Amino acid sequence: MNELDAFSERLHELGQRAPVPVVDPVHDIRRGRIALRRRRTRAAAGATTTLVAAGVVLATVPGRGAGADPAPVVTSQPSRSSSPRPVTVAEQLCGEGGAVSGGKALGTVRRRIGEVASTAPWQEPAVARLLADYRSVTAAVLDPAGRHLDRRVSNVQSSCDGDGRLTSLGTKLGWKSGRALGMVQIEVGRGPADDFQIVMGHDRWTADEQSLPAGVVKVRVADDEGGRAVVVKRADGLTVAVDTAGVWGNNAAPGSPAAGDLPGVGKLVRLAADERLTLPEG
């Protein structure tokens, strides 16, 4: 036996006596592969981020001079976030589980699928924005000095058809006059005016065709024990009703005096004719 064979046999003998590792080498190999994939993924993500930040990258190839083919241009696609679609006013007021009576949603606290709405209907974002616009327009026309109209929107009235489409939307606002608390109600909608809550709240309506503002097709006026109100049919297809009352029955204390300085019919018609009072499509 030569020296090389003796050395090989010695190595083999030592290998046989070597302790078996506690961890299977296969697991080490697997962990190494996973770590390698992660490094490659991070490197690719970093390259993608660089492209998005740069917008357009021009690749220059050495040796290309004048008259050579233009270098390829790499353009990056903007990243698209998967943000949820905003909920519409109709979905918030006429959505699944909304209180419905005769095909009309009553504007009460509704139930979403699988959960109870955590806010009142008039506090839902899309509804709140629209009602804030109603209040702003009302203040600009009826109370520009800001002495009477309540600054807070605390209710909503709405109706929906059987297909979940919003057909009318409105709110009531307090009208302060000394110790008295009157009320101004706005109702904007499509369809027959006879279905409006304001119209049903008065018994006697008379046509007023003398001086129609621009964009107004028809005006009806009521002035009775229920208060003073107007209904305006506009050329844009919407009908707007505005109602006033000396006492806001739901909010004024019993025995409170009635407000005596409510807006006149001319101002009410001007408010109803204002195109800023609108109803969202769909």
Give the pLDDT confidence of 11-44 residue by residue, as tens digits. Answer: 666 666 655 555 555 556 666 766 666 666 555 5
Q: 71's torsion region: left (phi>0), alpha (psi -120 to 50) or beta?
A: beta
**What amino acid is encoded at 261 in this protein?**
D
Strand partners of residue 219: 232
What is the mean predicted confidence (pLDDT) over 83-111? 58
- Helix or strand run (H / E) with residue 182: strand 180-189
Q: What is the mean pLDDT of residues 195-207?
A: 91
Q: Write the DSSP assignment of 243-264 as a string of letters.
A: EEESS-TTTSPTTPPPP-----
User: Among candidates 93, 50, 56, which has minimal Cα distance to 74?
Assistant: 56
User: pLDDT at position 193, please?
Assistant: 86
Which pLDDT value is given to residue 249?
Answer: 86
Average pLDDT over residues 117-121: 69
**Within a 10 A sphere around the Cβ of 204, how many other Cβ atoms?**
10
Q: Is 277 helix (H, G, I), strand (E, B) or coil?
A: coil
Stated pTM of the model: 0.63
**Lowest-confidence region among 5-9, 23-27, 81-85:** 23-27
